[in-house]
Structure 1
Amino acid sequence: MSLLQIECLESRIDKPREHYGQFAISPLNSSQALTIGNALRRTLLSDLEGTAIVAARIAGVNHEFSTIPGVREDVLEILLNLKSVIFRTQMKEPQVGRIRVQGPGVVTAGLLELPPGVELVDPRQYIATICNNSIFELEFRLETNIGYKIINRGIDHMASDFLQIDSRFMPVKKVNFSIQEVQFDILKDKETLFLEIWTNGSITPQDAISKAADLLSRFFNSLKNLDFKYQIEEFNSEEQVVAQVSIEELQLSVRAYNCLKRAQVHSVADLLNYSYEELLEIKNFGQKSAEEVVDALSKRYGIRLPYEKISKNTE
């Protein structure tokens, strides 16, 4: 397979929280574009890490349905506004930030006191409006995770006065892909995968596709050197396999079958303990039944019973 090439067809920033990129990946064999497109799309949307506010503690507030004197928004609206604040960071451990503002005035994300190494994508994001000279004070907890975290509404179990927030960690907002067939050479056609990525600004579309490809690469690399040891029953010869066959498979007459069952003969392995003469010694087992068994073993499995039992003691 020839090396893949990726080309950035378009890259733009519509708003601080709306980044867009379009890429073309080629050349791909038939059906490979669909496989790679699906894998990249799912990884971009669900497996990339992001940072979000997961809980907040507001001074003088006991539950999310409260109101704050002198603040236009109620607590629930403020929590929803905090939920939409986008951060850019490499942090792995939970961190705490805070804000303390005296009104009147508008509270935006740019007024947040952030832990070291944490940056705001859009400092103009709206949080609340203070209508008088009262003090608006809150503390919030940041976490890095993947996907969307839904919690039970109420008081955070980690701190009695922290209110939990449903958190969206996904930095990629939307992914589209399309496939186009192109003439690669005279003998065969190839496919080109076109990928469109929208992010929230905490990561560029170029970095997003690079991280997604790295995640997929590490995932499949972990499957390269598998060394499973299966417990397989080994047989020394084909006769041992045949010996496990039930006598029902011989399709004997009812008389012969019943006589063998009464004699505790249940499989071909049991029959191999008998010679032709010993079959005749089975109760009610006549010459016709013995010949029937010998014929069935010979035709179905190529096994011939000895006429007489060979003695194990030889001189």
Structure 2
Amino acid sequence: MNNISIRCLKSEKIQSGACHGQFVINSLKPGQGITIGNQLRRVLLGDLGGIAISAVRIAGVSHEFSTIPGVREDILEILLNLKGVVLKTKTKDVQFGRLKVQGPTVITADLIQLPEGMEIVNPNHYIATLSTANIIEIEFKFEYGTGYRLATQTFSEELNNYLQLDTVFMPVQKVDFKIENVYDTNNTSNERLFLDIWTNGSISPNEALESACAIIIDLFTGLIQNTIQPENNTVEQQPDSISIEPYTNIAIEELQLSVRAYNCLKKAQINTVGDLLQYSPEKLQELKNFGRKSADEVFSTLKNKLGIILN
């Protein structure tokens, strides 16, 4: 275990500013690869934070079903496009930005006026097309967070003139790992762990891995430093406290299921991963028009994207 080492095999930028990195951890004992790989994957996807557009205020628009004269996209399309704007900053405070342009023009992310210290990773990201000489004015609210937050959870009476967005704070988009057995001259078996990390560009894969390791170290350091309670002390149970996994509020649209499976889930009022986890595999297959093939697709997607295995 003293010879454990980590090495970066690949670090590259891909489309729209996103990044990919591949790492290898050597000299692991049998069984340690799956333990470390699962722990790192869970923390990378669930515990790292980022900044994103959480709400917008558009001049002359009072609800998401409105339209803007001269703009090709409706409000829902504009909100969806804004979800794809990737930002990075060192502060975690709530901040605001503005966009004011006169057409005709194509509106891209680089036209947004940002607060000091904030940067757009994908400045060419498309937002909308303004085909007339009208003026469009938008105010943006930027928030820092972790995981995924639905728009219905961000409603505030103080911001009732803002349109809320389903906000994705996660800077890490995907994590894969695989384990290989390595035999030395004495036929002793060790393991090495290959870890692939894809980020949205707001942080590099190397920074994401360092942050994840620091979170894990802090977690176990806190456990070690805590004083062990005597055996006769009982810990009070708090049945009302519920541990909510970071993925339970993820909309099923993010799973990118086939049209058939998606429509069956929506008809059954299954809108989030949390709703989906309320169903056992047997109960899921009892849904109307939801066959074995659709069930296998859902099980496979949950496992590959979120690491969730349904019994």
**Same fold, judged at TM 0.5 (above):** yes
Amino acid paired to 2:165: I
> Match for residue 161 of structure 2?
161
Deviation of 1:9 (Å): 1.2
Amino acid paired to 1:85: V
Secondary structure of the residue that 1:224 maps to in structure 2?
helix
Q: Does the 8 Å contact 1:57/1:161 carry over to 2?
A: yes
Correspondence list, 1:90-239, <5 A = 90-152=90-152, 156-184=156-184, 186=186, 188-230=188-230, 232=232
Q: Distance in 2 between matches of 1:153 and 1:226?
A: 35
Secondary structure of the residue that 1:182 maps to in structure 2?
strand
> Match for residue 25 of structure 2?
25
Secondary structure of the residue that 1:220 maps to in structure 2?
helix
Q: Distance in 2 between matches of 1:39 and 1:82?
A: 32
Q: Does the 8 Å contact 2:51/2:92 carry over to 1?
A: no
Deviation of 1:148 (Å): 0.4
Amino acid paired to 2:229: K
Using a 3 Å threshold, how does the CA distance of structure 1 residues 156 and 226 change in structure 2: closer, same or farther?
closer
Using a 3 Å threshold, how does the CA distance of structure 1 residues 156 and 135 change in structure 2: closer, same or farther?
farther
Q: What residue ranges of structure 2 are gaps of 5+ in the alignment? A: 234-311
Q: Distance in 2 between matches of 1:100 and 1:232?
A: 66
Q: Distance in 2 between matches of 1:99 and 1:85?
A: 14
1:11-64 per-residue CA deviation (whole Å, 9 max, x = no partner) reads 111223321111100110010010000000001111111110000000000000
Secondary structure of the residue that 1:36 maps to in structure 2?
helix
Secondary structure of the residue that 2:229 maps to in structure 1?
coil
Give the TM-score normalised by structure 2.
0.72
Using a 3 Å threshold, how does the CA distance of structure 1 residues 112 and 220 change in structure 2: closer, same or farther?
same
Deviation of 1:155 (Å): 6.3
Q: Distance in 2 between matches of 1:184 and 1:95?
A: 55
Q: Distance in 1 between matches of 2:153 and 2:46?
A: 24
Q: How many residue pairs align between the two structures?
A: 233
Q: Distance in 1 between matches of 2:12 and 2:184?
A: 30
Q: Distance in 2 between matches of 1:119 and 1:163?
A: 23
Moved over 2 A (4+): 153-158, 228-233
Secondary structure of the residue that 2:219 maps to in structure 1?
helix
Give the TM-score normalised by structure 1.
0.71
Q: Distance in 1 between matches of 2:229 and 2:218?
A: 24
Q: Does the 8 Å contact 1:22/1:194 carry over to 2?
A: yes
Secondary structure of the residue that 1:176 maps to in structure 2?
strand
1:227-259 per-residue CA deviation (whole Å, 9 max, x = no partner) reads 2332639xxxxxxxxxxxxxxxxxxxxxxxxxx
Q: Distance in 1 between matches of 2:60 and 2:79?
A: 15
Amino acid paired to 2:230: Y
Amino acid paired to 1:96: F
> Match for residue 53 of structure 1?
53
Deviation of 1:185 (Å): 5.2
Q: Does the 8 Å contact 1:45/1:173 carry over to 2?
A: yes
1:184-217 per-residue CA deviation (whole Å, 9 max, x = no partner) reads 4526221000001111111111111111111111
Q: What residue ranges of structure 1 are gaps of 5+ in the alignment? A: 234-315
Q: Does the 8 Å contact 2:150/2:166 carry over to 1?
A: yes
> Match for residue 259 of structure 1?
none
Deviation of 1:152 (Å): 1.4
